[in-house]
Amino acid sequence: MTAFCCPVCGNELFKTPGGSACRNGHSFDAARSGYFNLLLSSSAHAHGDDKAMLRSRRAFLEKGYYRPLLEALCRILEEKLPQESALLDAGCGEGYYTAGIASYLKEKGKAVNVLGIDIAKAAVDMTAKRMPQGKFAVASVYKIPLADNACDAVLSVFSPNAAAEYRRVLKPGGVLLRVYPLKNHLYSLKKAVYETPTRNEEKGEIGAGFSEESVWEIKNKIFLSSAEEIGNLFAMTPYFHKTSEKDREKLLALSALETEAEFGVSLCRKV
């Protein structure tokens, strides 16, 4: 059996020589790196982050600039997860947080079944390659290929807040750990590029059927000392594709930049 459910009929998916199939004969390919492609063609237009963006993100994250956030997530999950548990990283990206959390929890002696999904095939491929022991699928956070009540925790780092679907896959009493940018996150980076930079919006609604138990704010300053690093950070932000050539040139002319890295972490329990 695989960890996942058939995205067509919801039945368990069993391993087959080429991938996986359910008892109704719906079958899905597995990639060489071990993940399953469970995205139905009707949602295939939403391809998620492209490869160049993912490479920039990996290069940036591997330098440890967002390590304080990773460490906070590790500590929170260590405290909140039962000894044997299942954790879904919903929108796992290239796997920086997924892999960091999995190895931390293992070191602490917790038996955590780590699962991850992302709509971007290239992202899931990168995650599966760095974590051969994990269970990953290309899928939408709005249609998660897991059974009801399958997880003890869902992690959502800058992913869409698909609260109803997160709630469905969580066990009663399970927790949703959501990371969102605070108002000033990357403000100095935006100020360096735009005439009229805007602050981020606040975290938005807590989904129905959740009660917020704790909120943390993780605030740091990061110092980027080369045009390449500044470019990598900018390329992984949502502003990248909305920026004019002229503003992009302004950014590329910078050789050093200090900016805010400010995250909110909200822990909501399924009620």
Residues forming contacts to Zn ion in the complex (CB under 5 A) are 6, 8-9, 22, 24, 26
Q: How far is the CB of 151 from Zn ion (least distance, A)?
A: 21
**Rounded least distance, CB 259 to Zn ion, Å:** 47
Q: Judge residue 83's burial from the number of C-beta atoms within 10 Å of its C-beta, 0-12 exposed, 13-18 middle, 19 or more buried.
A: exposed
Nearer to Zn ion, 6 or 61 (CB): 6
- Residue 172 in 3-state DSSP? strand
- Nearest approach, Cβ of residue 43 and Zn ion (Å): 16
CB nearer Zn ion, residue 21 or residue 59: 21
For residue 223 the two structure tokens come to 């110092």
What minimum distance in Å lies between the beta carbon of 2 and Zn ion? Answer: 12
* Closer residue to Zn ion, CB minimum distance, 15 or 108: 15
One-letter amino acid for residue 108 of the chain = K
- Separation CA 121–CA 51 (nearest Å): 9
Q: How far apart are CA 106 and CA 153, in angstroms?
A: 16
Q: Which is nearer to Zn ion, 22 or 222 (CB)?
A: 22
Length of the chain: 271
Q: Which is closer to Zn ion, CB of 4 or CB of 35?
A: 4
Question: Most distant CA pair in the chain: distance in Å?
Answer: 58
Distance of CA 168 to the CA centre of its chain: 18
According to DSSP, the β-strands at 19-21 and 14-16 are: antiparallel
Residue facing Zn ion at closest CB distance: 6
- Minimum distance of Zn ion from residue 36's CB (angstroms): 13
Both structure tokens of 72: 């906070």
State which residue, 40 or 227, has the beta carbon closest to Zn ion: 40
Q: Which is nearer to Zn ion, 26 or 143 (CB)?
A: 26
Tell me how far apart the terminal alpha carbons of the chain are, to the nearest angstrom: 30
| Tokens encoding 31 | 């990639």
Minimum Å gap between C-beta 119 and Zn ion is 20
CB of 120 to Zn ion, least distance (A): 24
Between CA 248 and CA 208 the distance in angstroms is: 40
The DSSP code for 241 is G
SS3 content of the chain, % helix, strand, coil (to 5): 30, 30, 40
